Amino acid sequence: MRPFPELAIVAFSSLIGLADAKGITPGQIKNLVTFGDSYTDAGVPADNGTAWPTYAAGYANVSLFPFAKSGATCSNNITFRPFPSLFESQLPDFFAEKKNGTLPKLEGKETLYTLWIGTNDVGANGLLTGHGAILEDGERVSVVDTVTCAVNWVKTLYDSGARNFLFQNMIPLQHTPLYSADSYINHYWTLERNTTQWTVSMAELVISGNKIAQLLLKALAPSLSGAHVGLFDSYGLLKDMIANPSMYLNGTAPLNVTIPLKSCVYQLNESTSDTGVCTVAQGTDRDSYLWYDELHPSEQADRMVAKEIAKTFMSNVWLVFAGPTDEGGRGVKQGLITPNAYGTVLDVGAGLGHTIAYLDRTKVTRYVALEPSLSLHQCIRKMANEAGYTESDGSLIILSCGADDTLAILQALDNTPADTIIAVLVACSISSGEKVFQKLIRDVLSPGAILFHMIEHIRQALIPTLKDIYANPYLIFHPFYAFFSNVWAILGPGMDENEQEIKRNLITPRARGVVLDLGAGHGHTIKYLDRSKVKKYIALEPNMCMHSKIREMASSHGFTESDGTFLLIECSASDVHSILFQISTLEKQHKEIQVDTIISFRSACGFPSPENTLQRLVRDVLKPGGRFLFFEHVLSERKDVAWWQRFWAPVWEIVGQCRLDRKTDRWIEEMKDVDGQGRKISMWSEGEVMDNPDEPEESLFHNRLGQFVKHV
């Protein structure tokens, strides 16, 4: 197995309560404010291309406000250089622009502040060559002083209202062409030197400086109420690039992690005003190099840094230091994972590896961590090793591929399926999450295995539910209303996005007249109604906590209660008399009317007495010639899948308010009516039931869709 970074992206928080334990959430960050030296200077990129902040802002779709300047140290009072330092130039510029209105208002919760500095403090013309200032006590400045200065950046910005910080530690400078043992005379230092001594000294400065930063940040965080202070492991990321260049570099020349793409050789004591003898790579060859010049990472390396940093506020890898993030779900995990996980366990989105603490080592023989963020791998490895899982004996596998790359996962597992899949707080950050998990179940999960996906919905919905109950004490008598509304706020948008094509093909050309939407949820069906054909929209939703979302969606698509084009009914689908009465209010004479279209999208699985309820709705509420459109969880025709659907049905009924084991498609297709002579006839004049083309037959969440026309 290849080595991975020695540190992880770690985050420290002063808040240990559950409400704030998860830290920054995906989509929260809107602004990126950067400070530092030439590694971060977006105005004059040191890679002679595009600096990492510009890439990161683009990847994450946030606004960039760059203040980093080339040549900077933390403070010219500590390590002087004739360049704009952090404390004497960059921070004053930031506060001045903030005060005079040049900067827009940067909300604390929506803004991430980053600092990447230290290279010039410890390097040539800095601590390495004895150029630090003499302090009042007569001692020369040390790495403790330069790192303490950098950490004070957090406190300074916090006092001005900033709340989200990312501190980037120093890269392994001892491996740069400037400071490595194989270095040559170059633009940055043309004087005589001992390259071996420089390499050893630089390694000591960087490693000790990074450790000091970690300890200082850990000590500082508890005093910063409401702050999220992250430590980004630039050192580990660059070390991994050196060890595994093929994972990061993709140019057309041979991969190179020792010689820069712009290599300029000077003579001893030659003036740096000369150009030296330079060799410069061109075109796509440039992306084969780790270093741009003797000191700076290449543009391709900067892209990799940008991608990893973008993940810290796109994919929610902000994890509270020393465990508070994990505290919130400890009871749930102990009750669900510990007694049930067995065999080969695949942990999707492993993060820092907290799941390992809940595995019974006597039952779990192999732990497979799926974590695309390379910076987290070493932390996973450390936690796994402490629990007795190691790569040397094959009981630990760490993968960096995406959850949808089931081929790579199976290859790593020697083409043997996993016995348990665990997914905790990851679906919200996986594009097309439902399809990805269906693919995992189909390709990677062994028949009869266990999928821990439900825990995620419980965990994410818990705190919003408690807040809703606090705001509306009436909900104490109906807590599940608030809970399921919050679960649906998590699941609904993604499911709707995944099913757009199905809904457009099924609903848009067929729905007409007065439409009754059974179990309307948050009103996603409204988006697929053709307003020129649909006159009135009726939402049947017994959960009062869903109503505000339905009203918002209806209003945005031209259906309002004031003009009689929208009606919201709060009762069970089985209460047909109430439904008919409330529909009649759409008519001025309160004349009993029937609807032209009934739509049921994953609703019948939650009906009480579902077969009878569907029968009465179609018989009494749908007019002759009206259409019934559905897309429902149904019992699989495969016996092995059906067995597991029945096994999980009671649990999913609690979490998802839906049974997985109902024969809804058959009940609808075989529905009967009674003619005028008392004979049983088919309810339908035409119709069909279809399989979901995007769904594997092995899926536990088996769905079928259909459209039927009621006989006249």
pLDDT in tens, 688-709: 999 887 666 666 678 899 999 9
Specify the CATH class of 10-248+299-314 in words: alpha beta
Q: Could you state, in chain order, the average pLDDT of each consecutive group of 10 residues for the chain (712 residues)?
A: 33 31 63 97 94 93 96 94 95 95 88 96 92 73 92 95 92 96 92 92 92 85 82 88 90 94 94 90 94 96 90 47 37 62 87 84 93 77 91 94 85 87 62 64 62 49 53 50 57 71 93 94 92 95 83 92 90 86 75 88 86 93 96 86 77 67 92 88 94 71 90 90
Question: Where are the domain boundaries for CATH 3.40.50.1110 in the chain?
Answer: 10-248+299-314
Interatomic CA distance for residues 502 and 567, integer angstroms: 25
Interatomic CA distance for residues 622 and 587, integer angstroms: 16
Which pair of tokens denotes residue 255? 């991969």
The 8 Å CB, 24+ separation contacts for 100-103 are 103/65
Question: Where are the domain boundaries for CATH 3.40.50.150 in the chain?
Answer: 329-452, 497-710
Q: Which 8-state DSSP code applies to residue 621?
A: I
Q: Is 569 exposed, middle or buried (0-12, 13-18, 19+ CB in 10 A)?
A: buried
The amino acid sitting at 190 is: T
pLDDT at 10: 44
Interatomic CA distance for residues 20 and 646, integer angstroms: 37
pLDDT at 487: 58
Which pair of tokens denotes residue 62? 């946030």
Neighbours of 25 (CB within 10 A): 14
CATH code given to domain 329-452 = 3.40.50.150
- If we measure between CA atoms, which residue out of 328, 392, 373, 393 comes closest to residue 354? 328
Which pair of tokens denotes residue 676? 């005028």
CB burial readout 340-362, b (16+ within 10 A) else e:
ebbbbbbbbbbbbbbbbbbbeee
Sign, CA torsion 104/106/110/112: positive
The amino acid sitting at 709 is: V
Residue 23 CA: distances (Å) to CA of 153, 163, 326, 667:
20, 11, 12, 47
Does the predicted model carry a pTM greater than 0.95? no
Interatomic CA distance for residues 212 and 709, integer angstroms: 72
pLDDT at 425: 55
H-run or E-run covering 686: strand 684-691
Contacts of 712 (CB under 8 A, 6+ apart): 624, 625, 685
pLDDT tens track for 437-474: 667 777 777 654 444 444 445 555 555 555 554 555 54
Contacts of 589 (CB under 8 A, 6+ apart): none
Give helix 479-498 / helix 454-471 axis angle, nearest 10°: 130
Task: Name the architecture of domain 497-710.
Answer: 3-Layer(aba) Sandwich (3.40)
Sign, CA torsion 48/52/58/62: negative
